Amino acid sequence: MPLLLGVGLVWYSLSKISIPTLVQYFKDADYSWIILGVSLGVLSHVSRAYRWLYMAEPLGYKPKFGNSLMAVYSAYLINFTIPRAGEVARASILKNYEGIPFDKGFGTIVAERIADTIMLLSIVAIAFFIEFEFIYNFFAEKFNPTSLILGGSVLLLGALLLFLFIKKSTSKFALKVKGFVVGLLEGALSIFKMKKKWAFIGHTLFIWVMYVLMFYVTTFALPELQNITLAAVLIGFILSSFSIAATNGGIGSFPEAVVIAFSLFGMAEDPSRAFGWIVWSTQTLVIIIVGGLSLLYLPIFNRKKTSL
């Protein structure tokens, strides 16, 4: 479904801007800023891979940085096929090449996502502080508060009933689920056991500063966007970040999220949409190349270990 939605959004996006016009924006763009943006994106991924090493330490493992980095890029690439499958693949890679149990490895990745969610919500809070009226009106128009509350209550009740059933059940399936959850929690709670908490926090801040700067500096590639405000950048970054979860790797949804955000500030659609495609396509190209090479090189990088 997310892939079909992405394909539909690609069609919609390209129906709103002619391909020759979009190509012209790509040709006229200042690639020095695009390359800088791509470099900042790469730095964020490198930092993410290094940050994870701090989480493996409390579990009693010392994985290689190379494996962590290639697992990160492989996960990003796999997410283009099935959303969130990359996290499962990343934990599997760490299990195969570093001997980290899947449940514990996946738990550390969940803990990472919790830290990243806190950072994204912090950016949302900053944007709310800067442009409260714009953001409030946007979400008020798109979502029905009553439906959100009702849906959340149903999901919470369902989760509670499932929890009580598994807790009291003695079936093999329930015992397996309990064992998996215990390992998952151990991995997730490793964030509180690590010796280098401040280094972890520092990397987390660095990752998200790089994300925002990547988005911001790329606006300088198009002359039409060089007077963009900080509020527009933050809101554009927030909506485009959420769009990545809506479709496979943000295909189709990323450019349209940028258009929605920038239009709140009266910015023209064509350069906004072109900017969204430039950011998404250049970052995606790097992920495809490096992620593909990572999947190919992982067994070679670990050949000495596997041959033992």
110 falls within a domain: yes
306 falls within a domain: no
- What does the pLDDT read at residue 308? 45
Q: Which domain covers residue 153, as residue numbers?
A: 2-301
CB 115 within 8 A of CB 191: yes
The dihedral built from the CA positions of residue 244, 247, 250 and 253, taken in this order, carries a sign that is: negative
42 falls within a domain: yes
186 falls within a domain: yes
24 falls within a domain: yes
36 falls within a domain: yes
Q: CA 270: distance to chain centroid?
A: 26
The one-digit pLDDT tens for each residue of the chain (308 residues) are 666 777 788 888 888 888 999 999 999 999 999 999 999 999 999 999 999 998 888 778 888 999 999 999 999 999 888 777 888 999 999 999 988 888 888 888 888 888 888 888 889 888 888 777 766 666 666 656 565 566 557 777 777 776 677 667 777 766 666 666 665 566 556 666 677 888 888 999 999 999 999 999 999 999 999 888 888 899 899 999 988 877 888 888 999 999 998 988 889 999 999 999 999 999 999 999 999 999 999 999 988 765 44
CB 214 within 8 A of CB 44: yes
Q: How many domains does the chain have?
A: 1
Q: Report the amino acid identity of residue 247.
A: T
- Tell if the pTM clears 0.85, that is, is over it: no
197 falls within a domain: yes
243 falls within a domain: yes
Q: Which of 232, 234, 229, 231 is nearest to 212 (CA)?
A: 234
